Structure 1
Amino acid sequence: MVGILAETTLSVNDGPLTSDNATYLRPSDPNLPLDELRKRYDEDGYIFLKQVLPREDILEARRRYFEFLAPTGVLHEGTDPVEGVFNKEKSEQDYPGIGAGHADGNGRPGGESATQFVDRAIDAHYKDWYTKNVVNHPALYDYIAKFTGWGESTLTFKRTLLRNNIPGSKPIGVHYDQIFLRYGEPTAVTAWVPIGDIKINGGGLIYLEDSEPVGQKIENEFTEKAKKAGLTEEEAKFAFNSNMMATGLLSESPAEFAKEHGRRWLVSAFEAGDVVLHKPHMIHASTINNDQDNVIRLATDLRFCDSSKQYDKRWMNYYRFNDGV
């Protein structure tokens, strides 16, 4: 593993990931017995499912996305849009990503030169080739409904995070999702879906080993402090969020964070059709996109809940800047 990680220039904001602070995600065959899959999910805080979605459907969504963004000059001239090869003659500063860690809070990233790209990246969230063929893909919905046991009570949140990650751009910082799902019970399931193949050093998602208890501990400790300070439950929610970094993150330094908690980051390459499900307090981040072929990393965060229980209804609106989530 040392040689493999060294050769692939796998790194985060504050340094490399090596065999000292990283190991591999455990892949799972989605056709394994449900009891075994649920056991892995409960033990690990995530489950890395191989080829849950039809590969051709995901690649078609990738093609449509980059065809839509092509007028911004983001793609290398003469390449097939489905490849998503970045135009090296451009600056990554003009093609910022969106979501956790990319702007102050949930504000608009980039300057005036990035306006067209950012507008199209947001508009892509509303296109049928994304909403129908990825977010509400029946193969994923049916699998989530079966895996969770929620059945017809399974609800897909309309708010999603369709993120591009240009080679060399800022990766996603350390966080867990319940920070952003504050107004619901901590039972939601996140489905991270790579839209295209992602090399191990291509900016994919990484998970902190055995970190569901760490996220719960962080939240419980702060909640207790808030109660002792005399805050109401509603005040505590706002206080917790304001106690995070301005972006809602736990840290911008994944290597240091892992060392502090005596854990390793779990990494992998991903293929179109793969899906990773994770729990609300599972701590994760992403690596720097060091893809040697300048491939843009594209992925989305989809979230599901049991509609018979309390859930964060702010997530039933499409993603928009400064929406308070």
Structure 2
Amino acid sequence: MPHAECPEPGPPSAEKLFVNDGPLLAGQYAELRPTALETPIDEARRRYAEDGYLYIKGLLPKIDVLKAREEYFTLLAPSGVLKPGSHPIDGIFDNTKDKLDFPGIGAGFADANGRPTGPHPEVATLFVDLALQAHTENWYKEDFCKHPALKEYVARLTGWGENTLGIRRTLLRNNTPGNKAIGVHYDQIFLRHGEDTAVTAWVPMGSISREGGGLIYLEKGHTLGAEIEQEFTKRAKASGLTDEEAKNAFNQNMMSGGLLADSPAEFGRQWNRRWLLTSYEAGDVVLHNAYAIHASTINHDPENKIRLGTDLRFVNRARPWDTRWGNDYAFGDGV
């Protein structure tokens, strides 16, 4: 597919808005559009269709989000990741430690679904084991992932009603300050064995400053993601591949880990589209469709907070969905 003209870069931002390939410059980013919880559902549907995402303020009770955050960092505290004397709920990184010994799950590694490690394996192993264990703790798996406020909103937005299914496999991700960020992708890359109607709920588990490593969305990226998918499928079919062969071939042509690119700044310039970002508060949720192109910034939180968020996905149980996602997250599970 032909690339768009690259816009002229502007001056550096006063904020530390960095992605994997450097700073986001003025003109390369804008603000994510918020939607109030009381917005009529018809208007919410219109925005979701128009933007490919819906950034809902205060969808979840703040107290429930912070309870889960506290449980998470209490669990991870024995790894030594937290600043001595700090409260687990604050999630303050101990910056006397080597950040590489505290790698995030599913971000910034050659195999995004492999077991991450660090220069001191005895430290990284405990940290990663505890981060993986969190996926199956009742406070997360039952209380948080199945929060009725979230499921009920998705059911209303999609019109799926009682057929709304929150699928079991989720990605609970931390990002310690200064570590590599998430590269450029859209979710259908990983959910291709089902229909393209899945809804992802990205839930920041605690407040995330603009510089704190939150998700960023490519402006109108859902239209570009759909075009990329359609163009590849068309070429694969023309070459004689079956549907199943085409799915596998697409993923093999991605970067390692299923990325469109590891360089968000360059990707935005290539397609002449801005990245949309914001600061997130506990209780906020972003719903995005299967083709919404997104990434994250590098965590440069001024208070050294660890960024914590989770990807929860919903499907229509009455329609074909990617049942590979029916089990708890595990390293090397092939998804």
> Smaller-chain TM-score range?
over 0.9
1:106 is matched with which residue?
113
1:71 equivalent among 58, 75, 78? 78
Partner of 1:31: 38
* 1:95 matched to 2:106: no
In the alignment, the residues of structure 2 paired with residue 323 and residue 229 of structure 1 have an alpha-carbon distance, to the nearest angstrom, of: 29
State the SS of the aligned residue for 2:13.
Answer: helix
Cα offset for 1:246?
A: 1.2
| Bigger Cα displacement from structure 2, 33-42 vs 140-149 | 140-149
47, 55, 77: which one pairs with 1:48? 55
Distance 1:8 1:260 in 2: 23
Partner of 1:9, secondary structure, is: coil
Corresponding position of 2:266? 256
CA contact (8 A) 1:9 1:16 kept: yes
The Cα shift of 1:318 comes to 0.4
- What percent identity do the matched residue pairs reach? 57
Give the length in aligned residue pairs.
323
Q: Give the aligned CA root-mean-square deviation in angstroms.
A: 1.2
1:150 aligns with 2:157: no
Show structure 1 runs of 4+ deviating over 4 A.
Answer: none
CA distance in structure 2 between the partners assigned to 1:316 and 1:136 by the alignment? 14
Contact 1:179 1:248 in 2 (8 A): yes
Equivalent position of 1:233 in the other structure: 243
Question: Displacement, 1:100?
Answer: 4.5
Note the alpha carbon deviations across 1:192-221, whole angstroms, 9 max, x for none: 000000000000000000011110111111
Please say if residues 105 and 322 of structure 1, whose CA atoms lie closer than 8 Å, have aligned partners that are also in contact.
no
1:167 maps to 2:174: no
User: Which amino acid in the other structure matches residue 305 of structure 1?
Assistant: V
In structure 1, how many angstroms separate the alpha carbons of the residues matched to 2:250 and 2:272?
24
Question: 2-side partners of 1:121 and 1:149: how far apart?
Answer: 34
> Residue 111 of structure 2 aligns to which amino acid in structure 1?
D
**Contact kept? 2:13, 2:26, Cα under 8 Å:** no
- Greater shift, 288-297 or 106-115, is seen at 106-115
Q: Alignment partner of 1:300: what SS? A: strand
- Measure how far apart 1:19 and its partner are: 2.7
- 1:316 partner letter: G
The reply to whether residue 193 of structure 1 matches residue 197 of structure 2 is no
Give the aligned residue type for 1:292: P
Q: Deviations over 1:138-172 (max 9, x none)?
A: 11111111111111000001000000000000100
Q: What amino acid is the match of 2:37?
A: P
Listed as ranges, the matches of 1:7-22 within 5 Å are: 7-22=14-29
> Where in structure 1 are there 5+ consecutive unaligned residues?
none
Partner of 1:307: 317
Unaligned runs of 5+ in 2: 1-9
TM-superposed deviation, 1:102: 2.9
Per-residue deviation at 1:312? 0.2
TM-score (norm 2): 0.94
- Is the 1:101–1:249 Cα contact (8 Å) retained in structure 2? no
